[in-house]
Amino acid sequence: MAKVMTSGGEALIKALADENVDIIFGYPGGAALHIYDAIYQQDRVQHILVRHEQAATHAADGFARATGKPGVCLVTSGPGATNAITGIATAYMDSIPLVVISGQVPNHLIGTDAFQETDMMGISRPIVKHSFLVQKPEEIPVIVKKAFHIATSGRPGPVVIDVPKNLTDPNEKFEYKFPSDLYLRSFALYNEAENSEVKKAVKLLTEAERPVIYAGGGAINSNAAEEIYEFGKLMGCPVTNTLMGLGVYPASDEQFVGMLGMHGTYEANMVMHEADLIMAIGARFDDRITNNPNKFGLQAKKIHIDSDPSSIDKIIDVDVAMTGNAKKVISQINKELKAMNFDNKKFDPWMKKAMQWRADHGLNHNMLDQKNPGDIILPQQVIQSAYKATDGKAFVTSDVGQHQMFAAQYYHFNEPRKWINSGGLGTMGFGLPAAMGVKFAFPDETVACITGEGSIQMCIQELSTCGQYGLPIKIINLNNRALGMVKQWQDMQYGGRYSSISYEDSLPDFIKLAESYGHVGMKVEKLSELQAAMEECFALKDKLVFLDVYVDPDEHVYPMLKAGGDMSEMYLSKTEKTFE
């Protein structure tokens, strides 16, 4: 084969193409200009120009969450790099594979406080899985290959490649060689679990009386939905998902007791509290799940499957630990259960009990049909309405706040990768750019962004990007004229002293705002008009619609776990709670 000569900038883009990347999100600037020139001169990799680097990272992140493939973004040095930080941290906290390429000042200026110099390696260090500072242009293809491998393998995460400008010089060419193999020293990956551990787990599972399956984001990352469904059916016991795991087990299945944790359903939290066996799959016993870890699952034996050995025994000590890929480990367990013809009938009373809890205090699914005299819209009704209008089939991204919790509770996800939210970092501003990433990945699918008037303003500039690329996203704004989640805490813990949570008089007219970007804006204030508006919004297939829904500003998210309590200690409404 003839030698291919490339500059560093060309090598970088060519290596991305050779990694099968066809889309990257970015924003140009001085240190990245050689790279942008290389982008201009090829057509294998499409570059999407966002309006803020934070949006580039969230868009790449949304793309990754929806597809399971790594998301890629490109930013310049200094302010470009620092603007990307929030998005990198967001991906890091949720274990999302990202490759972030940042321009850097030329080698000889590093350390001199040069114009737009930031120590990107240093500033990103605690929020990346790994990072590379390119030292020679020839090593770019190998670094790209390593970066993708590291970002996507084991427990995924973001990887930064910092590229000094002089190493992308178009005048300095070298031979381009994309490696076919990689060598990484002692890079441990875990796949299957030890057979002895599988046996131990199966023994605990089959000897239990009140087991529960608790699956999180790691189960989605390892594409284990099918295996977990089969496992659920073999066990015939309650299944719950974390905020990050929604969709990995179908919400419409009768064994599904909803989300658990801080704003989990009553039945899911009760099941966790009363269980005698907790089977955690790709979930990390985060403090939003366990509530007080010292009071967590005291009656239960615990089995934990995770691809990251450091997640095991970190918060909660477990009886059986299986470091491995959830998909493979669950298959191993399923095989054992099938081989022994396990009869799960004995869990029926336990399952019945879960259903009784649901009947007692489960989510109110008749809410949408309620006629209230003032015609006021409850936020939950907006989610129910969106669910109805989309047949539960949309990709739903969200921001952070009450609207996010209502979406998680009331939009029932039957498939993984459809619910896309920042669970770990809780980044307001994530929803819209993430929806762009999803829409680029799935142009023919319905993509909705469920947001609040606070969050949407954190990346509202992306309405312009949506205009440029014609992205018909549906933005459902649960407008409660306040930073609702903060207000809720101030109601519940600060005697209703509303410190800095409102901006009612200065909210933009979202309809005009959307229109000024060339989109459609719609406003709904009455419950009686909600469903029709929602149907119309989703029917406008090739338009971005900003649906501004005025909702009850006083509604709280319930259930809510009592701070410092166990999982059975919940507020159920403004007047009811399960504890003294």
Partner 1 sequence: MNHIALLMENQPGALSRVIGLFSQRGYNIDSLSVAPTQDETLSRLTMTIGEEGADINQVLKQLYKLVDVVMVQNLNEADALTLELAIIKLNKTKAEVEGLLKNYEFEREILDEKDNYTVFKALGDTQEIENLLSELKKEEFLEVTRSGTLGMTKGNESLATNDQTKISYD
Ligand X SMILES: Cc1ncc(C[n+]2csc(CCOP(=O)(O)OP(=O)(O)O)c2C)c(N)n1
Query: Annotated active-site positions, please?
Result: 53, 115-116, 165, 485
Residues between 440 and 469 that touch ligand X (CB under 6 A): 452-455
298 in Cβ contact with 322 (< 8 Å): no
Under the binding rule (CB under 8 A), the answer on residue 150 touching partner 1 is yes
CB of 525 to partner 1, least distance (A): 47
63 vs 411, which CB is nearer to Mg ion?
Answer: 411
297 vs 401, which CB is nearer to ligand X?
Answer: 401
162 vs 462, which CB is nearer to partner 1?
Answer: 162
DSSP letters for 426-474: --TT-HHHHHHHHHHH-TTS-EEEEEETTGGGGSTTHHHHHHHHT---E
> Encoding tokens for residue 409?
């509770």
Count residues binding partner 1 (CB under 8 A). 27
Angstrom distance (rounded) from CA 93 to CA 425: 6
CB of 166 to partner 1, least distance (A): 17
Under the binding rule (CB under 8 A), the answer on residue 188 touching partner 1 is yes
Q: Which of 131, 404, 446, 578 binds partner 1 (CB under 8 A)?
A: 131
Start-to-end CA distance of the chain, whole Å, equals 77
What x/- string results for residues 353 through 392 when contact with ligand X is judged by CB under 6 A? ----------------------------------------
Under the binding rule (CB under 5 A), the answer on residue 454 touching Mg ion is yes
3-state secondary structure 138-154: HHHHHHHHHHHHHHHCC
Residues between 262 and 301 that touch partner 1 (CB under 8 A): none
Residues near 173 by beta carbon (within 8 Å), at least 6 away in sequence:
5, 6, 7
Tell me which of partner 1, Mg ion, ligand X, none is bound by residue 518, counting a contact when its beta carbon lies within the kind-specific cut-off of 5 to 8 angstroms: none
Angstrom distance (rounded) from CA 400 to CA 459: 13
68 vs 508, which CB is nearer to Mg ion?
Answer: 508
Angstrom distance (rounded) from CA 251 to CA 415: 8
Phi, psi of 278 (to 5 degrees): -115, 120
Under the binding rule (CB under 8 A), the answer on residue 180 touching partner 1 is yes
Under the binding rule (CB under 5 A), the answer on residue 484 touching Mg ion is yes
Angstrom distance (rounded) from CA 456 to CA 503: 14
Residues near 528 by beta carbon (within 8 Å), at least 6 away in sequence:
375
Q: Which of 133, 478, 530, 557 binds partner 1 (CB under 8 A)?
A: 133
Under the binding rule (CB under 8 A), the answer on residue 106 touching partner 1 is no
72 vs 235, which CB is nearer to partner 1?
Answer: 72
> Encoding tokens for residue 502?
């409102």
Under the binding rule (CB under 6 A), the answer on residue 483 touching ligand X is yes
Under the binding rule (CB under 8 A), the answer on residue 149 touching partner 1 is yes
CB of 159 to partner 1, least distance (A): 9
Q: Which of 100, 99, 97, 193 is nearest to 153 (CA)?
A: 97
Under the binding rule (CB under 8 A), the answer on residue 308 touching partner 1 is yes
Q: Which stretch binds ligand X (CB under 6 A): 100-108, 132-140, 337-345, 394-402?
A: 394-402
Residues near 22 by beta carbon (within 8 Å), at least 6 away in sequence:
44, 45, 46
Residues near 477 by beta carbon (within 8 Å), at least 6 away in sequence:
451, 452, 453, 456, 510, 546, 547, 548, 549
307 vs 402, which CB is nearer to ligand X?
Answer: 402
CB of 548 to Mg ion, least distance (A): 12
Angstrom distance (rounded) from CA 283 to CA 217: 6
130 vs 288, which CB is nearer to partner 1?
Answer: 130
Q: Which stretch binds partner 1 (CB under 8 A): 183-191, 298-306, 367-375, 408-416?
A: 183-191
Angstrom distance (rounded) from CA 289 to CA 296: 9
Enter the DSSP assignment of 70: P
Phi, psi of 376 (to 5 degrees): -75, 140
| Footprint of partner 1 (CB under 8 A) | 121-122, 125-126, 129-131, 133, 135, 149-150, 180-189, 308-310, 312-314
| Footprint of ligand X (CB under 6 A) | 399-403, 426-429, 452-455, 478, 480, 482-486
| Footprint of Mg ion (CB under 5 A) | 452-454, 480, 484
